[in-house]
Amino acid sequence: MGQAFVQWRQWAGWECAAVSRSARRALSGPGPERDTAVQALKAAAAALIAWALAGWWWKAPMALLAPWTALFLVQSTVYRSLKTALQQFVVVVVGTLLAAGAGVLTGDTMLAMLIVLPVTMLFGSYARFGTQGLNAPTAALFVLVYGTYSGFDIIHRFLETLLGAVIGLAVNALVLPPVHSRSVRHLRGRLPEESAALLHAVADGLGEGDVAREDAQAWHDRARRLTDRVTDLRTARRWSDESYRFNPGRRLRRSTPLPPAADWDFAWDRITNHVEAITRTLAEPPERRSDRTLLPGPAPGIVAELLRAAGDVCALDDTGESSEAPERDDDEASGQTQDRRREALHRAYAAEKELTSLFRERGDALQDTLAAVTADTIRLLGDLSEVAGSRPDDAVPQEGGAGPQDDVPHGGGAGPQDDVPHGGGAGPQDEVAQEGGAVQGGVGGGGPRDEGGRESRAAENDDGAQR
- The string of pLDDT tens digits covering residues 357-381 is 888 887 655 567 788 888 999 999 9
> What is each CA distance from 188 to 140, 182, 260, 328, 373, in whole angstroms?
48, 10, 9, 19, 26
- CA-based nearest residue to 420, from 376, 349, 356: 356
pLDDT score at 85: 93
pLDDT score at 81: 94
Section 293-304 average pLDDT: 82
Cα–chain-centroid distance for residue 203?
26
pLDDT score at 252: 52
For residue 457, name the pLDDT band (cuts at 50, 70, 90): very low
- pLDDT tens, residue by residue, 119-161: 999 999 999 999 999 999 999 998 998 887 888 889 988 999 9
Residue 467: strand, helix, or coil: coil
Distance CA 442, CA 461 (A): 10
pLDDT score at 440: 37
Q: Residue 278: is its pLDDT beyond 60?
A: yes
CB neighbour burial string for 6-38, b if at least 16 within 10 angstroms, e if fewer? eeeeeeeeeeeeeeeebeeebeeeeeebebebe
Q: Residue 115: is its pLDDT beyond 60?
A: yes
Distance CA 172, CA 46 (A): 8
Distance CA 25, CA 153 (A): 47
Distance CA 382, CA 392 (A): 7
Share of the chain above pLDDT 90, in %: 45
User: Which amino acid is it at 318?
Assistant: D
Q: Residue 415: is its pLDDT beyond 80?
A: no
For residue 295, name the pLDDT band (cuts at 50, 70, 90): confident
Share of the chain above pLDDT 70, in %: 74
Section 260-279 average pLDDT: 88
Residue 211: strand, helix, or coil: coil
> What is each CA distance from 286 to 193, 207, 283, 289, 438, in whole angstroms?
31, 19, 9, 5, 19
Average pLDDT, the chain: 79
For residue 341, name the pLDDT band (cuts at 50, 70, 90): confident
- pLDDT tens, residue by residue, 48-61: 999 999 999 998 88
| Residues contacting 255, CB < 8 A, separation 6+ | none
> What is each CA distance from 98 to 13, 192, 392, in whole angstroms?
50, 57, 69
pLDDT score at 435: 39
How large is the C-alpha radius of gyration of the chain?
32
Contact of 437 with 447, CB cutoff 8 Å: yes
